[in-house]
């Protein structure tokens, strides 16, 4: 999927700028207006990874999801947390931000509208529609990437 996102973004007539630096908080700034030139700015920090947690309760029950059973805490406690912790690599942070650009160019009006809504729906769209798919593909290739099913599942 990462390859197809890169291929698709190369067909966009607008120029997407990728800003790279050590003090940058990764993000995508979509263009405010469609002028045929500005494709927005992806900001990326190659030194920044992200600790996340993977809650089995919230995993989609799909054949492509490797569902493991984990136990954490005391089994008689209803409030016990069942979590697996992991780390998203800087490379995943980059595909996450490029995923925002991909989704923006797929539906500009929808993306702009989602940006005005509370609860960051565009973040869960990128996490669910792109980030977890890429991570699942990498895991199938033997890479040890952490995974989160919701944007807010950062440790
Ligand atoms: Zn994001």
Hey, how many other C-beta atoms are within 10 angstroms of the C-beta on 142? 6
Cα separation, 36 vs 134, in Å, equals 29
- Asked if residue 113 belongs to a domain, the reply is yes
Cα separation, 12 vs 30, in Å, equals 13
- Asked if residue 60 belongs to a domain, the reply is yes
Domain count, the chain: 1
Tokens of 85: 């912790």
Length of the chain: 155
CA 68 / ligand 1 centre spacing (Å): 26
Does the pLDDT at position 124 exceed 70?
A: yes
CA 81 / ligand 1 centre spacing (Å): 25
- Asked if residue 146 belongs to a domain, the reply is no
DSSP characters over 102-141:
HHHHH-HHHHHHHHTSTT-HHHHHHIIIIIHHHHHHHHHT
Does the pLDDT at position 83 exceed 90?
A: no
Cα separation, 60 vs 64, in Å, equals 9
- Asked if residue 7 belongs to a domain, the reply is yes
Longest dimension (CA), the chain: 59
* pLDDT-derived band at 75, boundaries 50, 70, 90: low
Q: Which domain holds residue 79?
A: 2-140
Q: What is the mean pLDDT of residues 70-89?
A: 70
Extended strands (E) in 5-154: 15-20, 27-29, 38-44, 50-54, 84-88
CA 80 / ligand 1 centre spacing (Å): 29
* pTM of the entire predicted model: 0.89
CA 141 / ligand 1 centre spacing (Å): 24
- The pLDDT value given to residue 71: 58
- Asked if residue 94 belongs to a domain, the reply is yes
- Asked if residue 148 belongs to a domain, the reply is no
CB-hemisphere CA count at 13 Å for 18? Answer: 16
- Asked if residue 149 belongs to a domain, the reply is no
- Asked if residue 18 belongs to a domain, the reply is yes
CA 76 / ligand 1 centre spacing (Å): 37
* pLDDT-derived band at 69, boundaries 50, 70, 90: low
Cα separation, 7 vs 55, in Å, equals 32
Nearest to 127 by CA among 116, 119, 31, 9: 119
CA 149 / ligand 1 centre spacing (Å): 13
CA 98 / ligand 1 centre spacing (Å): 9
Q: Could you tell me which residue, 146 or 66, shows the higher pLDDT?
A: 146
CA 5 / ligand 1 centre spacing (Å): 15
On average, the pLDDT of the chain sits at 89
């Amino acid at each position: 999927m990462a390859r197809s996102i890169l291929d698709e973004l190369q067909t966009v007539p607008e120029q997407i700028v990728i800003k790279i630096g050590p003090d940058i908080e990764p993000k995508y700034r979509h263009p405010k207006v469609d002028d045929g030139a500005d494709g927005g700015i992806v900001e990326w920090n190659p030194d920044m990874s992200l600790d996340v947690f993977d809650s089995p309760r919230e995993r989609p029950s799909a054949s492509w999801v490797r569902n493991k059973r984990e136990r954490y805490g005391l089994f008689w406690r209803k409030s016990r947390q069942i979590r697996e912790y992991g780390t998203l690599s800087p490379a995943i942070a980059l595909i996450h931000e490029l995923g925002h650009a991909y989704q923006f160019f797929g539906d500009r009006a929808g993306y702009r509208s989602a940006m005005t809504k509370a609860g960051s729906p565009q973040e869960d769209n990128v996490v669910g529609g792109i980030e977890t798919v890429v991570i699942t593909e990498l895991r199938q290739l033997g890479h040890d990437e952490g995974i989160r099913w919701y944007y807010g599942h950062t440790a």
